[in-house]
């Protein structure tokens, strides 16, 4: 069983329509602000946020870059959200579907596959910062699915190159060691290039003793494949025990299957976030997400900000989790 150790700090749709991502980014942020007690600060932030949304649709330049005032107001708003969140339950495990890399690149005129996914890979550093600050002990990122292998060879190479480079960097990142972050990957790693697998194994070995945050990278992952592999592993275990077929069938239970999932020691995700406006899981953690809360935001993954992350957690805190009861 994975053990979590306390550590020190380092360093979107809310309200009635909380889980409805049909809202535009501007309306989503406005609805989020409306969740709080109205203030002049929030009114100004809505206007500036709307202006930023318009500029994000064009390639950035000096005339459209976010103003210092906007950044300052966001900093104030983030601090306020942080104070609010610390009064409520913090998720023990967050899953994130990283979506929107290509659309983000297209808006900026970027076409090189390696460059497209490099920005998305860099976002991982910020996610880790935020998880450390909020003391979230587990985060799972879906970076590459088995279905993504159907894309063009150039795009698949771009994705895998970004993953390999980022995972290799994690193995030698002082922050990862200082904050006791354990890195591991789940999925059908046997279908990945040897260099990618080697980088993954090196990061896993380098962080195997860390136990404050579990960073799980889902690569070559599919929810159906995970369940299939779990059932196969269970039946293989039964066969090794010499169990008869009838006995093996009786031993197939939800609890038995759960013990053979890729990361069976992790708690089920409390919250799953998907960026880019798509409202579906696409197979992410199918078995584990039975009681998860879902949060969908229009923000594209490379543009995902701390304030978006905090809003997702606030939406989670606003839910009444009954677990079927």
Token pair belonging to 15: 């309200």
Contact present, 88 and 266 (Cβ < 8 Å): no
Catalytic residue flag (residue 148): yes
Catalytic residue flag (residue 129): no
| CA 305 to mean position of chain CA atoms | 12
* φ, ψ dihedrals at 314, nearest 5°: -65, -40
Identified catalytic residue from 17, 125, 129, 148: 148
The 10 Å Cβ neighbour count of residue 205 is 11
| CA 135 to mean position of chain CA atoms | 15
Q: Which residue, 259, 267, 321, 262, is CA-closest to 294?
A: 321
Contact present, 261 and 233 (Cβ < 8 Å): no
For 188, 190, 219, 308, the CA distances from 146, given in Å and listed in that order, are 8, 12, 8, 28
Contact present, 19 and 294 (Cβ < 8 Å): yes
Cα distance between residue 138 and residue 192, in whole Å:
24
Contact present, 254 and 79 (Cβ < 8 Å): no
Local structure of residue 298 (DSSP, 8 states): S
Q: Which residue, 75, 13, 32, is CA-closest to 274?
A: 13
| CA 293 to mean position of chain CA atoms | 13
Identified catalytic residue from 99, 270, 298, 308: 99
Catalytic residues: 99, 148
């Amino acid at each position: 069983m994975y053990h979590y150790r306390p550590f020190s700090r380092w360093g979107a749709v809310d309200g009635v329509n909380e889980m409805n991502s049909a809202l535009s980014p501007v309306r989503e942020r406005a609805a989020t602000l409306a969740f709080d007690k109205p203030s002049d600060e929030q009114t100004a932030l809505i206007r500036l946020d709307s202006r930023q949304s318009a500029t994000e649709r064009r390639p950035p330049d000096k005339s459209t870059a976010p103003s210092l005032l906007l950044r300052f107001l966001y900093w104030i708003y983030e601090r306020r959200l942080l104070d609010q969140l610390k009064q409520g339950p913090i998720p023990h495990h967050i899953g994130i579907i990283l979506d929107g890399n290509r659309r983000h690149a297209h808006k900026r005129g970027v076409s090189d596959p390696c460059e497209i996914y490099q920005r998305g890979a860099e976002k991982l550093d910020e996610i880790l910062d935020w998880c450390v600050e909020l003391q979230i002990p587990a985060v799972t990122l879906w970076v590459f699915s088995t279905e993504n292998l159907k894309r063009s060879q150039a795009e698949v190479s771009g994705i895998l190159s970004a993953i390999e480079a980022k995972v290799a960097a994690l193995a030698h990142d002082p922050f990862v060691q200082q904050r006791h972050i354990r890195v591991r990957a789940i999925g059908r790693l046997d279908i990945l290039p040897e260099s990618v697998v080697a980088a993954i194994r090196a990061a896993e070995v380098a962080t195997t003793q860390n136990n404050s945050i579990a960073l799980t990278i889902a690569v070559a992952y599919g929810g159906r494949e995970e369940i299939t592999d779990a059932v196969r592993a269970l039946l293989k275990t039964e066969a090794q025990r010499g169990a008869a077929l009838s006995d093996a069938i009786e031993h197939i239970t939800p609890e038995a299957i759960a013990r053979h999932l890729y990361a069976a020691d992790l708690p089920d995700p409390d919250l799953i976030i998907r960026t880019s406006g798509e409202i579906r899981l696409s197979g992410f953690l199918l078995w584990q997400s039975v009681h998860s809360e879902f949060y969908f935001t229009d923000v594209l993954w490379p543009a995902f900000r701390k304030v978006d992350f905090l809003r997702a957690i606030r939406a989670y805190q606003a839910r009444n989790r009954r677990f079927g009861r």
